[in-house]
Amino acid sequence: MPRPSMRLSQRHERWVYAIGSLLFLSGLGWLFAHYFLAVPGEFGEAHHPSEPWWLRLHGAAAMGFLMVFGSLFQGHIARAWHLRKNLPSGLFMLGLVMLLVLTGYGLYYVTDEQSRPGISTTHWAIGIFTIAGLLLHVKLGKKSYLKSA
């Protein structure tokens, strides 16, 4: 049975999930360290020593994810757009990733100390929500695949 042309190869799918998982888990690691492992300091609660390491891992995973995500445009996204398959959830995913990129960029390059907490909360809330969006996108895509088979 031939596969729809927009479906990812197994190897490509593994890369997307592996890098995406590393990105998600490193973000969760930072969240846990930041909110649950803060240590008492001389002037109140201080950042946990693991926070910078989680951020470094998250930043490296984000660079990898941008490469893997970019690899989806020529094949997966362009073919799905042409065939009009799974567009609402695909466009929703594109929007979420764009928001994550913008808020991540803002956290690293733009924010001052007053706006950082709000942008940070927005960034990690969208990041957690993106997992649900991805699961929905995959489920709808597989459902569409089974219907057309």
115: helix, coil or strand?
A: coil
pLDDT digits (tens, 9 = 90+) for 89-105: 999 999 999 999 999 99
Residue 93 maps to a domain:
yes
- CB-CB contact of 1 with 149 (8 Å): yes
In a domain, 116, yes or no: yes
Region of residue 52 (phi > 0: left; psi between -120 and 50: alpha; otherwise: beta):
alpha
pLDDT classification of 145: cutoffs 50, 70, 90:
low
4 located within any domain: no
d(CA 74, CA 140): 21
Does residue 2 sit within a domain?
A: no
Q: How many domains in the chain?
A: 1
Structural domain containing residue 52:
10-148
| Residue 8, SS3 per DSSP | coil
Residues 136, 89: contact at Cβ < 8 Å?
yes
Q: pTM of this prediction?
A: 0.87
